[in-house]
Amino acid sequence: MSASDGARLPVTGAQLVAAARRAREHARAEYSKFKVGAALETADGSVVTGCNIENATYGLTICAERVAMFKALSEGHRAFTRIAIVADTAAPTPPCGACRQILWEFGGNLEVTLANLTEHIGTHRLEDLLPLPFDSRLL
Ligand code: THU
């Protein structure tokens, strides 16, 4: 089955956040104890989730956002619209610099929704989170 098979009903923002909350439960955050979930919406309306995955080297940790994007790319998805990111904190958890770069390169100017376990905290455009990006247009 390819990434574009099947018609899908539109996903609401609340459903995208709910998917990120569920994905967060799978986080492997034994070292930081900071669990993050992400839900990436594709242009055809699919939702691909991710969670952060830490390991004993610490440095090979991968964030929830990149897990979601790499999963989606590996399944054949090529166009994206929104991502929801969830952590269990009062303050928003915005994507780290590495994730901003990867989301920009493969997802473009995504709508980025930040939420915690109970509330929606904010919505941004990725171009505002990553001004003056380096990308393939400059190569
Ligand atoms: N983390 C994410 O997964 N996404 C973010 O947006 C911020 C940070 C993870 C990486 C690490 O496993 C833990 O949160 C603490 O930095």
Q: What is the CATH number of domain 13-132?
A: 3.40.140.10
Q: Decide: 27 in ligand 1 pocket, CB within 6 A.
A: no
User: What confidence score (pLDDT) does residue 8 get?
Assistant: 75
The pLDDT assigned to 1 comes to 44
Neighbours of 106 (CB within 10 A): 18
Give the global pTM: 0.95
pLDDT for position 6: 53
Active site residue 65: yes
Residue 5: the pLDDT is 53
Provide the residue ranges of all domains of the chain, joining segments of one domain with +.
Answer: 13-132
Spell out the per-residue pLDDT of the chain, length 139, in tens.
445 555 678 999 999 999 999 999 999 999 999 999 999 999 999 999 999 999 999 999 999 999 999 999 999 999 999 999 999 999 999 999 999 999 999 999 999 999 999 999 999 999 999 999 999 999 9
Q: Kindly state if the Cβ of 86 falls inside 6 Å of ligand 1.
A: no
Nearest atom in ligand 1 to the alpha carbon of residue 53 is 12
